[in-house]
Structure 1
Amino acid sequence: MKLKIVFFVLSFLFFACADNPQPKPKAFLALKYPEADYSRVDIGCPYSFDKNELATISPSLTKTPCWINLDYDLLNGSIYLTYQQVHNNLDSLLRDAQKLPLQHTIKADAIEGDIYTNDVRNTYGMFYEISGDAASQAQFYLTDSTEHFLTGSVYFNSLPNYDSIIPAADYLKKDMRHLMESLKWE
């Protein structure tokens, strides 16, 4: 009898030392997209840039000249580009472009802005990264300060769920940065 009790206590102690099961940590989707392949695009506007072959160009719904969309069907998203000429209105264009990312503060967890300067191409502006369940995940504006003003925004064709769109948003942010770096005023 004592042997049974000792055996029971020892078995209990042996199995009681096992690792406790833990819940799995939250994870992000491991989506992989094709490597970006860029080619120069001239659409007959006062600017040209390198476009990812994955994107297709479509006119903006507003039908405004030189406003275009870069549609990424695989990612279910787009980069919207708007162009305006500068006519003694640079201050108001800059003010509007800087207010645009702030409209996402209600849903955004963070908004970070980076100054962009390219003296060789005479291009200056800001790049904004927005994290959280905001409608847009990245925005930028570029200008030469005298004639040209271009803005860009990333939007997805779905309800914003930051955890689900992080891989696609990161891919489009890289494309947006490449577009900024390759932009040339005509």
Structure 2
Amino acid sequence: MRLAIVSVIFLLVLVGCEKSYQPKPKGFLALDYPEAEYKKIQLPCPYTFEINKLVEVKASVTNNPCWVDLEYPDLNGTIFITYRPVRDNLEALLIDGQKLPLQHTIKADEIEGDTYINKKNNTYGTFYEVKGDAASQAQFYITDSVNHFLTGSIYFKTQPNYDSIVPAANYLAKDIRRIMESTKWAEIQE
């Protein structure tokens, strides 16, 4: 009996002295993007704005010289810019600009719209931020209500998984806000 008790105590000491294993804490992806530096874009169009220096400006597949794709190769994302002149069609353009974010309501968890007004540059519009697994995480439109209507939207070349792309989407959303803030209209020659 004495031997059994000593054996049990000995086994407990051996087992108790083993290194204890604990699960590793969850790791989070730390993405660092460079501080944005901006430059003015020069296009043969009745508008100008500032873009991030990381952007590669590509012609849109529509062959419309005022529709451009602002590609971010390192982020695998693109801001698609479209321009339309206002010709007694402002209401239809506004409806289209407001309808685009609503197309993402099926996958979106939330869509926030912020009204944008810049009297100095004569630009008025709305910035939409889409949260959730939607195809586009941000869209905007701006207009001078008389001659010009500009829209933009972010898309990534990957399956939309909001948790994975939110850092890149936030980075591009800041660039969209810069585009909105820096847009200036040229006079239209009739």
TM-score (norm 1): 0.87
Q: Could you tell me which amino acid in structure 1 is paired with residue 92 of structure 2?
A: S
Unpaired runs of 5+ residues, structure 1, are: 16-20
Structure-to-structure mapping, 1:89-108, within 5 angstroms = 89-108=89-108
Inter-partner Cα distance in structure 2 for 1:94 and 1:74? 33
Unpaired runs of 5+ residues, structure 2, are: none
What does residue 44 of structure 2 align with? Answer: 44
Q: Could you tell me which amino acid in structure 1 is paired with residue 173 of structure 2?
A: K
Spell out, residue by residue over 1:58-110, the C-alpha distance to the aligned partner (whole angstroms, 9 max, x if none).
01111123000000001000000000000010000000110100000111111
Report whether the alignment pairs 1:83 with 2:88: no
Spell out, residue by residue over 1:16-43, the C-alpha distance to the aligned partner (whole angstroms, 9 max, x if none).
xxxxx6784574x211111111111121
Corresponding pairs, count: 180
**Is the CA contact 2:44–2:65 (under 8 Å) kept in the aligned structure 1?**
no
Are residues 78 and 26 of structure 1, via their aligned partners in 2, closer, same or farther at CA, if it must alter by over 3 Å? same
Inter-partner Cα distance in structure 2 for 1:134 and 1:23? 32
What does residue 128 of structure 1 align with? Answer: 128
Inter-partner Cα distance in structure 2 for 1:102 and 1:23? 41
TM-score (norm 2): 0.85
**CA positional deviation for 1:44:** 1.3
Inter-partner Cα distance in structure 1 for 2:169 and 2:30? 13
Q: Could you tell me which amino acid in structure 2 is paired with residue 139 of structure 1?
A: Q
The CA RMSD over aligned residues, in Å, is 2.3
Inter-partner Cα distance in structure 1 for 2:26 and 2:90? 48
What does residue 72 of structure 1 align with? Answer: 72
Inter-partner Cα distance in structure 1 for 2:27 and 2:86? 48
Inter-partner Cα distance in structure 2 for 1:99 and 1:24? 43
What does residue 57 of structure 2 align with? Answer: 57
Inter-partner Cα distance in structure 2 for 1:115 and 1:40? 24
